Structure 1
Amino acid sequence: MAGEAHEEGGLVFHPLDQFQIKPLFGDGPIHWYTPTNVTLWLGLCVLVVVALFVFGTRGRAVIPGRIQSMAEMAYGMVYKMVEEIAGHDGVKYFPMIMTLFVFILFANMLGLLPMSFTPTSHIAVTAVLGFGVFIFVTLLGLIKHGTHFLGLFWMSDAPLILRPIIAVIEVISYFVRPVSHSIRLAGNIMAGHAMIKVFAGFAAVTLISPLAIFGIAAVYGLEVLVAFIQAYVFTILTCVYLKDALHPGH
């Protein structure tokens, strides 16, 4: 992961080079139809998810093996999360939320492999997920409740003089949701990968290489945890937004 060089007696490395989008074939310009490293790792992520949750569980053994146990644990955890946060009405949207969770989780995890690429480190990818959730829950709320959905922004329990001010704050915070939803995921993943590459660059310096290697191991272990936590947080927030769409008066 380290790309370092000695120039004019100093150590030079570029921790952000790993996030560059490159075409898979040739070095020409990138168009919307050009296969890139992002395309490759998004596709690999889908294949891994299908392998685990479709082929890995098709036996449906009474005593599950390791792959089936992992799939069942993930299924149970997300199902319980949806039911507890969004309520029984939210269970019908469980397949969408489960898909989001496993996709983000495996995209994060695959990005920790050597010489890999992490699609979720790019705001363009996470923004599609974040804004997709935002548009979905907003349309769902409007379709199910009509104008009553706007009651989400009007705090009837607050003093009358404060209600317009609170309404403005609530509207702003509501439309900031997809931005924070997507930036949180991309920012945390990018920061961790950049930190690993910084330590990898210092590993070339003989005097501090043992400390740098220890730093790489420590940050890598932390990144494994962050990869899961960020998928978990994204899923929890999706459930919270879904609850607001289904029950805007609560």
Structure 2
Amino acid sequence: MATETTGHAEAGHAAEGGLAFHPMDQFIVKPLFGDGAVHWYTPTNVTLWMAITVLVIGAILILGTRSRAVIPNRSQSIAELAYGFIYKMVEDIAGKDGVKYFPYIMSLFMFIVVANFLGLIPTAFTTTSHIAVTAVLALAVFISVTVIGFVKNGSAFLGLFWVSSAPLALRPVLAIIEVISYFVRPVSHSIRLAGNVMAGHAVIKVFAGFAAIAAIAPLSVLAVTALYGLEVLVAFIQAYVFTILTCVYLKDALHPSH
């Protein structure tokens, strides 16, 4: 018992005297009111920042463009650039048939990119760092394009899994591989976004923790600054990648034949 007590005391002393920071604490989901358990209906920090994301998008796309000025202000310029960028992406990848789904894809891009950028604000919560959020987005895309594929093409949509250009003996094997890869899409789609966002924020927190050590504090500050700049780029790139993959999946649904 004495040995155990001494061990706890030494551990406590080490924790007090050493550098203690927890880079994953920033991803903890907490209730907005009180300290009770989190249920599906509990308002949390995730709920708050998702609501802020929607409000910011509304401010950019609705309030920022209401004047429809010939010489646009900053908000109108951002809205017009985003609109043109995503519209061109959908048209180039999914074709003219895919343009009718542009509003949905535009909404996806705006939600992800705004949530990513809001997460870079100090003390903010990054909703896209949670697989629960990105999985819902990815599953919505997966279910939507699958339904579109069958509605538009009927049983011909199954041609997506049949590689007619391959030798006949290999086609059944390739069909199994294609089916597996198709159902893995929402997994990779969601993990890619959440994993990259979470990893970047965690690394920044680690280097920020090293700033407490005076000897390496200047290097730590420089590292955090560089990583923060990189995360700004990653915030846009990950939204872009998620959106462009959605366009590719939509293209497969509209034109399934190999």
What is the 5 A alignment of 1:12-161? 12-161=20-169
Q: Which residue of 2 aligns with 1:225?
A: 233
Unaligned 5+ residue runs, structure 1?
A: none
- Amino acid across the alignment from 1:187: G
Amino acid at match of 1:41: W
**Pairwise CA distance, 1:89:** 0.3
Alignment RMSD: 1.1
- What's the TM-score, normalizing by structure 2? 0.94
CA distance in 2, matches of 1:51, 1:29: 33
User: Is 1:185 aligned with 2:196?
Assistant: no
Equivalent residue number for residue 194 of structure 1: 202
Q: Distance in 1 between matches of 2:77 and 2:51?
A: 24
**Where does residue 216 of structure 1 map in the other structure?**
224
Runs of 4+ in 1 over 2 A off after TM superposition: none
Q: Unpaired segments of 5 or more residues in structure 2?
A: 1-12
CA–CA distance in structure 2, aligned partners of residues 74 and 178 of structure 1: 25
Are residue 176 (structure 1) and residue 184 (structure 2) matched?
yes
Question: 1:8: how far off?
Answer: 4.9
CA distance in 1, matches of 2:172, 2:199: 39
> What are the superposed Cα offsets for residues 54-89 of structure 1, whole Å, 9 maximum, x if unpaired?
010011111111110111001000000000000000
1:103-124, Cα deviation, whole Å (9 max, x unpaired): 0000000000011000000000
- Measure, in 2, the Cα distance between the counterparts of 1:168 and 1:12: 49
**Is 1:111–1:117's contact at 8 Å kept on the other side of the alignment?**
yes
Write the deviation string for residues 20-42 of structure 1: whole angstroms up to 9, x where unpaired. Answer: 00001110111111110000000
Aligned positions, number? 246
Distance in 2 separating the partners of 1:17 and 1:47: 26
Q: Quick one: which amino acid aligns to residue 174 of structure 1? A: Y
2:20 match: secondary structure: strand
Counterparts in 2 of 1:207 and 1:6: CA distance versus 1, 3 Å? farther
- SS where residue 13 of structure 1 aligns? coil
Q: Secondary structure at the match of 2:99?
A: helix
Separation (CA, whole Å) in 2 of partners of 1:6 and 1:63: 61
